[in-house]
């Protein structure tokens, strides 16, 4: 498991160990808003482990104010799309030698509302929290479809999903302590619990029903079509090329 905060991660690891009876739960620390940290994460994993059978890309942020990463990139796009994009590329060869293997990308139904301004993906003009979030998820989906095609016949599958609205602490840093209490009370009634929200990720990661399925999108366990823009092959190529440039990987690495 990968986490940013060691204390919270250790608590989560202990909870998993107690619930599962499995003491072999390893923890790696990384800040996915930093590309150097993503590189270090991949390097550490490759040094420690010979196989990788399932990679679930689940990290995300939802920020009301435009924020820049240490790499001078807009935070939402960097964490929600570029970080999993980069990590997947860095671990791709290990996945290929570990077949059968699966990549599971946690997207969002928010992508249906998104249109990508190729000249301003960093949203220097007209930043909006929902717009930033939706665009990052559409970008992830576009690149996922392209990578799934590239991986056909390799023994590595790649599928995306919308977990639905899940009540977590994501986005709570946007409001003060008093507002947090009110928001949590309201949102906990509207959203599903994290364990229910994880069901589709677990289904795509483990179920024999989707062992040969790749390049698809599931909405709460149901196979669905995504937005028209997401199937645009030219747009897929453009976002892929831009993403490779932003994570500073050569195009021949694809």
State mean pLDDT over 119-145.
97
| Residue of 219, 21, 232 whose CA lies nearest to 139 | 232
pLDDT at 175 over 70: no
- Contact (CB, 8 A) for 55 and 88: yes
Q: Which one, of 143, 121, 141, 140, lies nearest residue 132 by Cα?
A: 121
Tens digit of each residue's pLDDT (9 = 90 or more) over 63-92 = 999 999 999 999 999 999 999 999 999 999
Is 217 known to be catalytic? no
What is the per-residue pLDDT for 251?
82
pLDDT value of position 188: 46
Tell me what pLDDT residue 250 has: 92
Chosen CATH of 35-163+198-253 out of 3.40.50.720, 3.40.50.1980, 3.90.76.10, 3.40.50.460: 3.40.50.720
List the catalytic residue out of 133, 145, 217, 231.
133
CA distance 156 to 208: 14
Please check whether residue 156 is in contact with residue 96, taking contact to mean a CB–CB distance below 8 angstroms. yes
Judged against a pLDDT cut of 80, whether residue 168 lies above it is answered with no
> Residue 100, preceding bond cis, omega within 30 degrees?
yes
Confidence of residue 195 (pLDDT cuts 50, 70, 90): confident
What are the DSSP E strand ranges found in the chain? 2-3, 28-29, 54-57, 101-106, 156-162, 217-219, 222-223
User: Which residue spans of the chain are classified as CATH 3.40.50.720?
Assistant: 35-163+198-253
What pLDDT is recorded for position 182? 46
Q: What is the mean pLDDT of residues 167-184?
A: 51
């Amino acid at each position: 498991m990968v986490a940013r905060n060691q204390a919270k991660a250790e608590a989560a690891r202990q909870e998993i160990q107690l619930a599962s009876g499995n003491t072999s739960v390893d923890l790696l620390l990384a800040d996915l808003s930093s590309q150097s940290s993503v590189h270090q994460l991949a390097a550490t994993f490759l040094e420690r482990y010979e196989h990788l059978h399932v990679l679930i890309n689940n990290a995300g942020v939802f920020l009301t104010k435009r924020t820049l990463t240490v790499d001078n990139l807009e935070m939402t796009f960097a964490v929600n799309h570029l970080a999993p994009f980069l990590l997947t590329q860095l671990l791709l060869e290990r996945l290929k030698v570990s077949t059968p293997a699966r990549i599971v990308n946690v997207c969002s139904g928010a992508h249906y509302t998104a249109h990508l301004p190729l000249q301003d993906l960093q949203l220097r003009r007209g930043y909006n929290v929902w717009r930033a979030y939706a665009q990052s998820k559409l970008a992830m989906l576009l690149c996922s479809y392209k990578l799934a095609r590239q991986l056909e016949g390799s023994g590595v599958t790649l599928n995306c999903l919308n977990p639905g609205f899940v009540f977590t602490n994501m986005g709570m840093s946007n409001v003060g302590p008093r507002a947090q209490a009110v928001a949590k009370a309201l949102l906990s009634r509207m959203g599903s619990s994290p364990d229910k929200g994880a069901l589709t990720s677990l289904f795509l990661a483990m179920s024999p029903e989707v062992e040969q399925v790749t390049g698809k999108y599931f909405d709460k366990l149901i196979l669905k079509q995504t937005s028209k823009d997401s199937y645009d092959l030219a747009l897929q190529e453009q976002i892929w090329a831009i993403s490779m440039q932003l994570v500073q990987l050569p195009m021949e690495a694809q």
